[in-house]
Amino acid sequence: MAEALEARGDHRGAIDELTKVNRHARSDVVDRRLIELRSSAITHLDDSARSESWPPPIEDVFANTVGIPEIAARELSVTALRAGILGHGCLLVRGLVDAATVRSLVESIDHAFTGYDASAKTTTAVPPLAQRTFVRDAGGVLAVDSPPAFYEIVEAFEGVGLGALIAEYFGEQPVILARKLTMRRVSTRERPHPDWDPVRGPDWHQDGAFMGVDVRSVDVWLSLSDCGQDAPGLDVVPRRFDEIATTGTDGAHFDWSVGHGMVERVAGNNVVRPVFAPGDALIFDHLLLHRTAIEPSMTKDRYAIEAWFAAPSSYPHDQIPIAY
């Protein structure tokens, strides 16, 4: 049935049909086929229903909030999402996924890392490998390289209604960015980041510096472990930026990253390091100024998923969007 739907151009129907099959009887073959369908479906997306008014007007339900707006998962709505991201730079959602889902995702990450590292020892270098190596050096593996893990992530997100919520936020059905859907296992025992500085820590960045400014994006940064104290977390400048801060200066390691001196000028002392519990999520877009938070005193691994969504009408093509 899925093959017939695909042949008729109904990729969404084919994805839905195979997802039902996988929920009934899990299959590695179906996991891989779903990735293929989501990739081919990108040429059939309909963005005719897009909202021309962007950003939308917001009701600032966090007007009296100092720092990062924070809510419980049951309070998550498009009103809260818009107020958090467009009014304050980000939104912290406590308990977005439950403990059983967290355990399953952590297991999927460990399997993916083991598989990646085993494969990297035997795979002949090809052009795409350079980016994979960069991601792995930063404590990550791309989820699309592990179809079983990708399936688990999508199921976890759909279980809490993220797809529908982000579609309402964008005004159109989202795509997910294959080069930006990353499983993280960051440790202070390894070199934790390609721009690691043992004194000042990693560089800061806004993802719009390489994704582009004129996009509609949402990043769901899902913590799968306690982090921010004994394990690496995130440092955040909790304010809304309307443009990209100057990059490549003040000792920055890359032309797209923001040096420490620049952060001091634009943020002052307004830097927050949230403490995450397993299942908490920080949701933001391509304009949030942030970095990996890591100290030599942090001795535990940080597990997390970084999932970037974009609107079909404005996605960055070089990030390889696939249908969600």
Which residues have a Cβ under 8 Å from the Cβ of 114 and sit 6 or more positions away? none
Q: Which two tokens stand for residue 155?
A: 């199921």
Q: Which of 262, 174, 265, 249 is nearest to 216 (CA)?
A: 174
Indicate if the pLDDT at residue 50 is higher than 70.
no
> What backbone torsions phi and psi does residue 94 show, to the nearest 5 degrees?
-85, 130
Residue 233's pLDDT is 93
Please state, in angstroms and as integers, the Cα–Cα distance from residue 247 to each residue in 20, 244, 262, 289, following that order.
Answer: 46, 8, 8, 11
Residue 227 contacts residue 302 (beta carbons within 8 Å): yes
Residue 128's pLDDT is 55
Residue 134's pLDDT is 82
Q: Could you give the CA distance from residue 88 to residue 91 in angstroms, rounded to a whole number?
A: 8
Indicate if the pLDDT at residue 57 is higher than 90.
no
Indicate if the pLDDT at residue 74 is higher than 60.
yes
Residue 112's pLDDT is 94
Residue 323 contacts residue 6 (beta carbons within 8 Å): no
Estimate to the nearest angstrom the gap between the alpha carbon of 156 and the chain centroid.
Answer: 14
Find the range with the poorest average confidence among 2-16, 117-131, 222-236: 117-131
Residue 123's pLDDT is 63
Indicate if the pLDDT at residue 305 is higher than 60.
yes
Classify domain 51-323 by CATH architecture.
Sandwich (2.60)
Residue 213 contacts residue 243 (beta carbons within 8 Å): yes
Indicate if the pLDDT at residue 146 is higher than 80.
yes
Q: Which residues of 225-239 are buried (b: 16+ CB within 10 A; e: fewer)?
A: bbbbebbbbbbbbbb
Residue 298 contacts residue 187 (beta carbons within 8 Å): no
HSE at residue 225, side-chain half, CA atoms within 13 A, is: 23
Q: What mean pLDDT do residues 232-253 have?
A: 92
Neighbours of 99 (CB within 10 A): 11
Q: Which residues of 1-21 are buried (b: 16+ CB within 10 A; e: fewer)?
A: ebeebbeeebbbebbebbbee
